[in-house]
């Protein structure tokens, strides 16, 4: 999807307020017929899952039969759901947020607090570190490392014709920012805190604000500082 298609999808989607409800009361399966949300349980204990716009009126109608109730709201007027993690062949740590419509390659690692927006593509065996943000339609190659707090800009607002594209084997340092439309060449390194406003050639180190090429990767004195650790990738023992 291009940016206009994604924007149209979000604008035209039915906005929901996801709710998870635990309740005790004198209820039967008949009470849930046609309710419009999922329900589980039996006896005097029940779990309700669905849109609060449907659940709340139901709770009001049945308040005489309910003795205890706990409601958890996980979003408000949400436009698109999160991805079904059962479809992802990668290691995804608790607290990562991946929107449906993103593509996660095999044996990736998505760390706590990372956010991956709709239309983004993450190549196989790439690590998205803690609190990194991968914007809408950003493309990241295989065997990359996107550092903690880094941002690859999305292209929904403001709109842009081209997404961020990060080539294979790229390392993006912590808190770096790559602006929309920028391409980072294969095997390059973006230093921590850099703000990348222009394309980066393959095999170089870019640093600064705005980022400029400061050396070639082959000239780095300590190659171990930019090494990928294969043992951290993969999702099975």
Structure confidence at residue 234 (pLDDT):
74
Structure confidence at residue 9 (pLDDT):
87
Structure confidence at residue 233 (pLDDT):
82
For 163-194, how does the pLDDT look when each residue is reduced to its tens digit (9 = 90+)?
Answer: 999 999 999 999 999 999 999 999 999 999 99
Structure confidence at residue 117 (pLDDT):
95
Number of residues that make up the chain: 237
Q: How far apart are CA 199 and CA 231, in angstroms?
A: 31
Query: Residue 12, CB half-sphere, CA atoms under 13 Å: how many?
Result: 6
Structure confidence at residue 230 (pLDDT):
81
Q: Per-domain residue ranges for the chain? A: 17-73, 85-232
* CATH, range 17-73: 3.30.70.250
Contact 73, 17 (CB under 8 A): yes
The strand pairing partners of 140, in sequence order, are 122, 166
Structure confidence at residue 66 (pLDDT):
96
Task: Tell which residue, 125, 131, 140, has the closest CA to residue 91.
Answer: 125
Q: What is the pLDDT along the chain (237 residues), one digit of tens a residue?
A: 777 888 888 889 999 999 999 999 999 999 999 999 999 999 999 999 999 999 999 999 999 999 999 999 999 999 988 999 999 999 999 999 999 999 999 999 999 999 999 999 999 999 999 999 999 999 999 999 999 999 999 887 776 678 999 999 999 999 999 999 999 999 999 999 999 999 999 999 999 999 999 999 999 878 777 888 888 887 766
Structure confidence at residue 237 (pLDDT):
60
Helix runs in the chain, H state only: 3-12, 52-61
The pair of three-digit structure tokens given for residue 49, joined into one six-digit string:
């899952």
- CATH class assigned to 85-232: mainly beta
């Amino acid at each position: 999807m291009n940016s206009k298609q994604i924007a149209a999808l979000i604008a035209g989607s039915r906005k929901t307020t996801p709710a998870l409800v635990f309740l005790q009361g004198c209820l039967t399966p008949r009470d849930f017929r046609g309710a419009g949300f999922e329900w589980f349980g039996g006896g005097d204990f029940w779990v309700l899952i669905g849109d609060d716009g449907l659940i709340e009126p139901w709770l009001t109608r049945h308040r005489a039969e309910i003795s205890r109730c706990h409601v958890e709201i996980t979003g408000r007027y949400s436009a698109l759901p999160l991805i079904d993690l059962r479809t992802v062949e990668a290691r995804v740590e608790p607290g990562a947020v991946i929107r449906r419509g993103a593509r996660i390659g095999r044996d990736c690692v998505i760390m706590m607090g990372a956010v991956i927006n709709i239309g983004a593509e993450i190549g196989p065996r790439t690590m998205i570190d803690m609190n990194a943000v991968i914007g809408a339609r950003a493309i990241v190659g295989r065997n990359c490392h996107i550092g903690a707090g880094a941002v690859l800009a999305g292209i929904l607002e403001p709109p842009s014709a081209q997404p961020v594209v990060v080539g294979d084997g790229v390392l993006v340092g912590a808190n770096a920012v790559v602006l929309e439309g920028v391409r980072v060449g294969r095997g390059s390194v973006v230093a921590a805190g850099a703000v990348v406003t222009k394309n980066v050639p393959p095999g170089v180190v870019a640093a600064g604000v705005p980022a400029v090429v400061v050396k070639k990767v082959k000239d780095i004195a300590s190659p171990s500082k930019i090494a990928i650790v294969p043992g951290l990738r993969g999702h099975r023992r």
